[in-house]
A and B are shown apart, each in its own frame.
Chain A
């Protein structure tokens, strides 16, 4: 194994036996804090395991150190990529760490400048408006034209002598609304710029910034990317993830029950065992329920204009589900419902299936008439809807005549076992959406804007 003596764990120079135990402990704890900031769950017992493991390997061998920490702290394949990047950034050479610190300080100075710039602009009658740090940074990141527009508006209100202090809350809400609009439009760009809550350790904050910057270029975490932004070259990886998740979903909903107190079928083995205490006389009978039929799946995907950005995900979701489960009826809808099951069951490649589907369908990018589509499902495909049917809907809920849609959704719910709704609308927009509020009263709705959302929803569904 190649020696890498230039590497010391998280800032401490050390040799195998010379490192103070407390320094190793402190660095492992700091490293765990960095991993936790990336959403990795690490318990105290895992930390103890990591410390014990480090006594068994040579700390001067970077590879051994990495394997020991990985084996004890990481328990999910999807966390490996974040772990790898964090390890490289945390156990980097002093030169690289210095570079990380410099970049971090530079970023902090820029943020402070941005905040100051916003504070100078957002005043009313000589007093600063009550804006959050995030809002100030959003302002500083706006295109010059928009900045000028906001400044003009503020100077106009400032100039009007008739407006007294009571106008201030109103002005603040106008400004906040405008900034919120831009925040949504520039989400990706701002996401990299906005400061994260501090980890209480400036050096660690700098390392975390370096790790996250790594994810921003090339090694992005697909799980947390808005699904319509997933790049074409990342599609195979995304598709593999979707397939795995589809398998998780199918396993959950096909899980069957075993034993029951209901009198259905005699469980001879249990009966004999429980009656041994009565000398073998069959005094108490034990039953087992008949194995439940695997549920029938019906998948309905929205391919209307508002969902067009998510087409790629929707198609992969249908393809992924069809590739792991045989018995599934698939539909797409916009202004009308269209059955597409046959396209996905011919054992063709993804590209061939999609080309055929898109060429043969008129549904793409139309308006959303959920009520009409659901009515069509109930009336024309009623035979598919049974008491063991689970309906999966993938849609952003944006539809016309949503009250009619609610009625149809209720009708559908009464006919099937369960309706699961995967909503591609970002979670933060749910509060403002009437349709989300209304539909979620009837069906179980899960956010599905990123693959991570989908994964969380599936973990929730699979208990």
Chain B
């Protein structure tokens, strides 16, 4: 992966891959790549944080290695683990006919090492994209361990010594801000806040992903979704992926404009909780949404 890095290259590649974004995303990513720093992306769920890592992997035609953050994630699951079963079997097989020292050296070799995402990203002989998704869900101890790895891109395995990355991976960390991340981790990253797109940008996204949707339908969908997101009582705001799914559903139903009854019938595509659906029916309703989407004038 020896692509020359430039903002223009990223702009072109992101567009080719259908990732419609603003200059903020392009320049920040470009800076992260130039400064060889991880990029920390925060923002509400469904704005395309994870997708950006995938797009980066596609842009550089390289592998995406993903580490999903969750409560209880530890070094063994993130970095490496010895293959105990295999080691035990080898001990039993070699008990009689091998010297203990020789056996020990053999047992702690790469053949018995189970690589987890972080080690894999460091050991891969080419530059990969490492996505550490929802890092805010990890415990603080793991976060502290993580920023050590991300500073030096090297890990120490007591039995094998220090392993240093040949190619520093492109690291993307995402967070839904459920927990404040430590200053140490944030200091090591370039920061990007991704919010829901504006109506104009969402129109571009729908056009790129669902080109079959007509001009009018695309605009009405973008306006309708924007209007729904602006309602503070809707708890789970429709994501960009849900907007696209909705557009695809409406195209599949052969509609070229939004209709009140159609909105009601396809509500579950973009509002996935009963509470939000109830709130929508009580406070907005299909007809009103269509009216707002056609007029384009919100409160």
Q: Which residues of A contact B (CB under 8 A)?
A: 1, 41, 43, 45-46, 49, 52-53, 56-57, 63-64, 67-68, 70-72, 74-77, 80, 235-236, 239-240, 243-244, 247-248, 251-252, 255-256, 258, 269, 272-273, 276, 279-280, 323, 347-352, 459, 462-463
Contact = CB atoms under 8 A, between A and B. Distances in A.
Interface stretch (B185-193, B200-208, B248-256, B261-269): B185-193
B191 A349 contact: no
A68 B84 contact: no
B179 A248 contact: yes
B96 interface: no
Given A75-B191, A269-B84, A279-B91, 12 more contacts: A46-B187, A56-B31, A67-B28, A71-B190, A72-B191, A75-B183, A75-B186, A235-B232, A273-B82, A276-B87, A276-B88, A280-B91
Contact of A272 (B28, B40, B84): B84
Contacts of B31: 53, 56-57, 67-68, 71-72
Contacts of B180: 76, 248, 459, 462
Interface string B33-76: 01101001011000000000000000000000000000110000
Given A52-B35, A64-B27, A68-B31, A236 B232 contact: yes
B270 interface: no
Given A67-B23, A248-B178, A251-B178, A77 B193 contact: yes
Residue with the greatest number of chain A CB neighbours at <10 A, chosen from B92, B187, B278: B187
* Interface majority SS (helix, strand, loop, mixed), chain A: helix
A350 B190 contact: no
Contacts of A67: 23-24, 27-28, 31
Contacts of A77: 42-43, 177, 193
Contacts of B91: 279-280
B279 interface: yes
A63 B187 contact: no
A240 B232 contact: yes
B283 interface: yes
A57 B27 contact: yes
19 contacts: A43-B187, A49-B35, A63-B23, A67-B31, A70-B24, A71-B32, A71-B192, A76-B180, A244-B177, A255-B71, A258-B72, A276-B87, A276-B88, A280-B88, A347-B278, A349-B233, A351-B233, A459-B180, A462-B179
Contact of B191 (A74, A247, A323, A463): A74
B133 to A, nearest CB: 17
A56 B177 contact: no
Interface in B17-33: 23-24, 27-28, 30-32
Contacts, number: 109
B275 interface: yes
A323 B23 contact: no
Contacts of B233: 349-351
Contacts of A71: 27-28, 31-32, 190-192
A247 B178 contact: yes
A71 B192 CA distance: 6
Contacts of B192: 71
Contacts of B140: 463
A256 B42 CA distance: 25
Residue among A1, A49, A75, A347 having the largest count of chain B Cβ atoms under 10 Å: A75
Nearest to A291: B72
A252 B180 CA distance: 11
Contacts of B28: 67, 70-71
Contacts of B152: none
Nearest to A43: B187
Nearest to B107: A276
A45 B178 CA distance: 26
Contacts of B191: 70-72, 74-75
Contact of B40 (A75, A347, A352): A75
Contacts of A251: 178-179
A212 B183 CA distance: 26
Contacts of B179: 248, 251-252, 462
A272 B283 contact: no
B84 A273 contact: yes
